[in-house]
Structure 1
Amino acid sequence: SFRKVLLLVGVSSRGCPLPAAFPRPCPPMTGHSFVPDDFVECFILSGYRRLPCTAQECLASVLKPTNETLNFWTHFIPLLLFLSRFCRLFFLSGRDVPFHHPWLLPLWCYASGVLLTFAMSCTAHVFSCLSLRLRAAFFYLDYASISYYGFGSTVAYYYYLLPGLSLLDARVMTPYVQQRLGWHVDCTRLIAAYRALVLPVAFVLAVACTVACCKSRTDWCAYPFALRTFVFVMPLSMACPIMLESWLFDLRGENPTLFVHFYRRYFWLVVAAFFNVSKIPERIQPGLFDIIGHSHQLFHIFTFLSIYDQVYYVEEGLRQFLQAPPAAPTFSGTVGYMLLLVVCLGLVIRKFLNNTEFCSKK
């Protein structure tokens, strides 16, 4: 029988390596039938690394044709590009503002989020075959880094982009509402309440999104990719004022850089979400795109393009902010928030690691 054949070659019926009684080693790369179910990716039939790998073998695999190789390189190369760009912004831009000036604190928060996201993704994809527990830990950290990046983006928006919007200027919105809608209301309090709630709400969303993504790795979740995509989109709602500004006012004319790069960023995000949920092209032809061209690689590429556009308009927002800064960002309102978020996300990951349910549908 097929089971007896598997026993002869030294693997169980689920594809797991057998213990010392069957010491025959696994090949460096193998098919989906010869790895634990938790490691199998949808419609990816080959190119799996043998389990368990050592750390040295994991590092060496980035130069070998496995189904994780381009997952690593499609984020490692952007990591180097963004590291170079942020070094230029902080240290080589020629501004009179030193890198440690309070005006640059939101940019530090944003830059740390971008770099951490790409670094954690690279780490998770390289070392995901060390063990089941470490695989889960690395991807939990990956989800946490995405939430950290999302909150860092909101901090940058809050200080560099939102103050320049007519939508959040009571002197503009109060007469606008009265003329267009006939409502005799003073928008001062509403706008002040929004400004006061932006960062706390974004903070809660970051923690909640991490919890939801970690839960998606357990067996109760039938559609983990769709859930994670939806969850990752939720923090993007913090940019809604920019979208409303373009509908209500002439954002294209007043700030063409923000308009073009903002909408192009969201186009890349829609494309990335499509590939992440649909599992195209490997769904159409399983086995053909195992090494090059599968959906997770395309997801990485379009995610990089979206963040590239975001960096562009955040940098432009910083330039306008430095021309006439409304108020200096505080340490507690920027770095303090980020440090508190790190603590909360660490507690979330610790809780899930103490749970014995691991189901890795990446």
Structure 2
Amino acid sequence: MATIVMEKIGRLFISLQQIREVPRILTDAAPSMPGTVRDTEVPYYFRERYVCTGYRPLNQNWRYYFLSLFQRHNETINVWTHLLAFLIVLVKLRQLCETVHFVSDPHSWPLFVLVLSSLIYSAFSALAHLLGGKSEMYHYVFFFLDYVGVAQYQFGSAIVHFYYGVDESMHRHVNGIFMPTATILSCLSCLGCCYGKYCNHRLPSSVRKVCQVVPSALAYTWDSSPVAKRLMSWSTETNDPAVFYHFGQVAFFLSCSFFFTFPLMESCLPGRCDFVGQSHQIFHVFLSCCTLCQIQASYLDFTGRRELYSGLHGSGEAALFVGLYVVTLVVCFLIAVVVLRRVNRVLDLRNKSK
């Protein structure tokens, strides 16, 4: 018995020694990481309005940008907000798997698409903000990937709103056109965002914002119309536990749209929001809250409105919508690739002219 106890103590001692080595390893890595620089020391296409410091130097090795996850710079909060959102949604998926039979129940597939699209957009966004500062080309690559993530998430929103949230009267009018239209609008949203970024050098920032905001606003208006109709007809006598979360997702989305469009905090406090307090950081937080409210509302609709939506949507319709999601994802990737080729040609011509 004494021998067993001594062995366990020895293993614990070794484990503690290994843990104590972690700070030393991080300390050894830190000196090799360059410090951040001012906006005047990076090309203008990397600069954010009213953000003066905290930029990472370009053309470092990949190790530097991955380790910058733990460094203080002006993208740190943007990375961590969506990285934490990714982990929270992952935990939510695990919880849903305990009560929802995603494999055997086709009616649950739209809910799974929403959760999957939420994981994808948050992961792509975190990668864009973490790795998009390596070079101009990689800046376009990762932010185009981010736009693909946003577009496919818009379709994920549309599928749950139409499948679980639509009522009988609206279903009669839009059945057969709602989801194909959602696919088109998601692809247009991806195209608008990619084109706006592609014209980064030629168009004013306000015009680029229009290219990015208008298609996304149209997609959101269309995708959320079944929920909007429910909210407008809601009364205090209605026994609908999902309505509270639907109100929450709408409020959070409108808030995050405002902070995405207008850099309010930076313009009011120029140079003081370089690390924390940027409008884009607030946009990330509100968008994550919107997503969590949306997932919970869709789960409550899935469990509480089954008799309604199972009568409206015939067998095989869920599989058709999942197929449309795959089509949307593939088309958005192709859009990003096509625009990225144009970016590559522009950069090649510029390099040859030097």
Matches of 1:329 and 1:104, distance apart in 2: 12
1:196 shift after superposition:
0.9
8 Å Cα contact 2:55/2:74 also seen in 1: yes
Q: CA deviation at 1:213?
A: 0.8
Q: How does 1:121-160 map to 2 (within 5 A)?
A: 121-160=125-164
Q: How far did residue 259 of structure 1 move?
A: 2.5
1:13-28 paired onto structure 2 within 5 Å: 27-28=34-35
Counting aligned pairs with the same residue, the percent is: 22
2:287 paired with 1:303: yes
User: How has the CA–CA distance of structure 1 residues 314 and 303 changed in structure 2, closer, same or farther, with 3 Å as cutoff?
Assistant: same
- For 2:240, the equivalent position in structure 1 comes to 256
Residue type at the aligned position of 1:240: S
* Contact map agreement 1:261 1:313 (CA 8 A) in 2: yes
Relative to structure 1, the CA distance from residue 204 to residue 153 in structure 2 (aligned partners, 3 Å threshold; closer, same or farther) is same
**Mapped contact 2:114–2:157 kept (Cα < 8 A):** yes
Counterpart of 1:291 in structure 2 is: 275
Tell me how far apart the structure 2 counterparts of residues 292 and 261 of structure 1 sit (CA, whole Å): 28
Tell me the amino acid that sits aligned with residue 293 of structure 1.
G
| 2:178 aligned with 1:203 | no
* 1:12-51 correspondence to structure 2 within 5 Å: 27-51=34-58
1:69/1:106 CA distance change after superposition, 3 Å? same
CA contact 1:167–1:241 (8 Å) conserved in 2 = no
Structure 1 distance, partners of 2:319, 2:307, is: 23
- TM-score, scaled to structure 2: 0.80
Letter matched to residue 215 of structure 2: V
2:218 corresponds to which residue? 234
Structure 1 residue runs of 5 or longer lacking an equivalent are 1-24, 169-190
| 2:60 corresponds to 1:53 | yes
Is the 1:159–1:329 Cα contact (8 Å) retained in structure 2? no
1:236 CA displacement:
1.6
> How much does 1:231 deviate?
2.8
In the alignment, structure 1 residue 275 sits paired with structure 2 residue 293: no
Judge conservation of contact 2:162–2:226 (CA < 8 Å) in 1: no
The match for 2:203 among 217, 221, 226 is: 221
**How much is the aligned-residue C-alpha RMSD, in angstroms?**
2.2
The residue number in structure 2 matching 1:18 is none
Task: State whether residues 246 and 252 of structure 1, in contact with CA within 8 Å, keep that contact through their aligned partners in structure 2.
Answer: no
Question: Distance in 2 between the 1:242 and 1:274 partners?
Answer: 21
Unaligned runs of 5+ in 2: 1-31, 348-354
Shift of 1:39: 0.7
User: Who is 2:91 aligned against?
Assistant: 84
Rounded Cα–Cα distance in structure 2 between residues aligned with 1:51 and 1:123: 16
Q: Work out whether residues 161 and 317 of structure 1, in 8 Å CA contact, stay in contact via their aligned partners in 2.
A: yes
1:354 and 1:290 map into 2 onto residues whose CA distance is 32
CA spacing shift, 1:80–1:276, aligned 2, 3 Å: same
* 8 Å Cα contact 1:251-1:259 kept in structure 2: no
Residue matched to 1:117: 121
Alignment partners' CA distance in 2, 1:273 and 1:82 = 21
Residue 341 of structure 1 deviates from its aligned partner by: 1.3
Deviates more, 1:335-344 or 1:30-39: 335-344
Q: Is 1:73 the equivalent of 2:58?
A: no
Asked if the contact 2:186–2:216 (Cα under 8 Å) also holds between the matched residues in 1, the reply is no
State whether residues 110 and 152 of structure 1, in contact with CA within 8 Å, keep that contact through their aligned partners in structure 2: yes
CA distance in 2 between partners of 1:216 and 1:342 (Å): 20
Q: Where in structure 2 are the equivalents of 1:169-188 lying within 5 Å?
A: none
Equivalent position amino acid for 1:195 in 2: N
After superposition, what is the alpha-carbon deviation per residue over 1:156-210, rounded to whole angstroms, capped at 9, x for unaligned?
A: 1222121xx2543xxxxxxxxxxxxxxxxxxxxxx53411100010000011111
| 8 Å contact kept, 1:76–1:122 | yes
- Residue identity opposite 1:35 in structure 2: V
Say which structure is richer in helix.
2
